[in-house]
A and B are shown apart, each in its own frame.
Chain A
């Protein structure tokens, strides 16, 4: 499913947080949105999902598939989100319900948006658990019994259980250790590609972006400062904001032995 944003402005409490943003995610495309904290990344993703705070003022256009999200009624938005969009959050421990078992957690979007029998739901949940690489015995467990990486796999399973056509991953690996980070990025990429869905991947880390996306937008102070092919931006950052993010990522990555 494609997403097309034109001239998006978001202001909260009189303060403009997103300024005149144009952004496209093509059907089946994986696109990155990168910027420092406070640059407005999460506000853009919340605008697409229709999850902005009530006092937010939004103008411009956001088309998800052939539907206009800006100004859409809440009930309609909830239906669009539930059926066509999935979201993976930064902190899996905070995004999972602590008093709900893994099975119920993952099944929740199905219960809310689809008319399935209990057995049908459980079958889908089992299949999803296998896809995200978790053993069957996690189904009866609670979030606190899982490691951070396992929790995020549950988060991904919950986001993907309805086979959404568009996925937003908002810093999905920031809270995880570096080995698990890589595994989660690889998992998300392969699931999104297998499903033929599109994804907007939000991060402050260019190194993660290089693995997750083919094209990206660089956000600075609420504006798009740069955009293009991810690999090309990494090799030839043209704006100062891109350069700052790229050089930080390069400095903090290990160089191949020999170049060191």
Chain B
């Protein structure tokens, strides 16, 4: 296999102090390869978000290492959060929100170039720029708002996209559009790695190449999607599978 773009080795993390000190990650190791989609799966409190925050340098590990095969990961990653309406500024039009990473990080680009890239990012996620660039978040449905947030995450062509529960605040019917948007990104940007955090195996089965199952801060299982879904060795993973079945 190729060299991982992101490599997590034996990471442990504690929160709180003294009597309240609690370990939330136990000796976790994981790799993310260019162009792959790794799903990090687990229930509430399993440590999913903490692990991904550590991956991106937004949180530091108490022990263990995170190696990034590139420059500054915080400049080369795009983030998608759970609730699009709290992650988009309600006073900004879509055009401004989507272009914000370029305005901050790409001072070399002209205004026309920035506009063109923002429009292109919207097209990738299935939104017509002519219709959506001028809108405010209040004029968007949940599915549309989340796709705007995804367009913002990809506009500067990051090497890693991290999506933390991007569908749990979205209507079931609109989740399909979010899945389609991620599929389009994977189609058009083949080197970009996607890390998707979710508690729902049903959501990630369509998009993940590999699944990492976290349970109470420990890696319960990590393997190709088909083998985790079809032939899991872990009782916890089997419970997640049952919960996602119709």
Contact = CB atoms under 8 A, between A and B. Distances in A.
A252 B175 contact: yes
B243 A260 contact: no
B146 to A, nearest CB: 12
Contacts of A260: 226, 229-230
Given A147-B44, A148-B44, A254-B229, A179 B243 contact: yes
A176 B43 CA distance: 9
Contact of B200 (A36, A234, A252): A252
A245 B179 CA distance: 15
Contacts of B245: 253-254, 256
| Interface SS majority for chain B | helix
Nearest to A256: B245
Interface stretch (B53-61, B153-161, B166-174): B166-174
A249 B199 contact: no
B172 A206 contact: yes
A179 B246 contact: no
Interface of A: 36-38, 147-149, 176-182, 204-207, 210, 234, 244-245, 248-254, 256-257, 260
Contact of B173 (A36, A176, A210): A36
B133 to A, nearest CB: 23
Contacts of B176: 248, 251-252
B145 to A, nearest CB: 11
Given A148-B44, A178-B199, A254-B244, 7 more contacts: A38-B141, A178-B201, A204-B171, A207-B172, A249-B246, A253-B244, A257-B229
B35 interface: no
B240 interface: yes
Contacts of A207: 172, 202, 246
B44 A254 contact: no
B109 interface: no
Taking each of B173, B202, B241, which has the highest tally of chain A beta carbons within 10 Å of its own beta carbon? B173
Nearest to B241: A254
Contacts of B106: none
Contact of B172 (A181, A204, A210): A204
Interface in B195-246: 199-203, 205-206, 226, 229-230, 239-246
A254 B203 CA distance: 9
B45 interface: yes
A179 B199 CA distance: 8
A147 B174 contact: no
A182 B243 contact: yes
B47 interface: no
A254 B174 CA distance: 18
Contacts of A36: 171, 173-174
A244 to B, nearest CB: 5
Nearest to A181: B243
12 contacts: A148-B44, A178-B43, A178-B201, A178-B244, A204-B172, A207-B172, A207-B246, A251-B179, A252-B200, A252-B203, A253-B202, A253-B246
A233 to B, nearest CB: 13
Given A147-B44, A176-B44, A177-B43, A254 B205 contact: yes
Contacts of B43: 177-180
Contacts of B244: 178, 252-254
Given A147-B45, A177-B43, A181-B243, A254 B201 contact: yes
Nearest to A175: B168
Contacts of A249: 172, 246
Contacts of A254: 201-202, 205, 229, 241, 244-246
B141 to A, nearest CB: 7
A257 B202 contact: no
Q: Which 7 A-B pairs have the closest CB atoms?
A: A253-B246, A177-B199, A178-B243, A252-B202, A177-B43, A248-B173, A177-B44
A257 B230 contact: yes
B78 interface: no
Interface in B127-179: 141-142, 171-176, 179
A245 B173 contact: yes
Nearest to A241: B173
Contacts of A205: 172
A177 B203 CA distance: 12
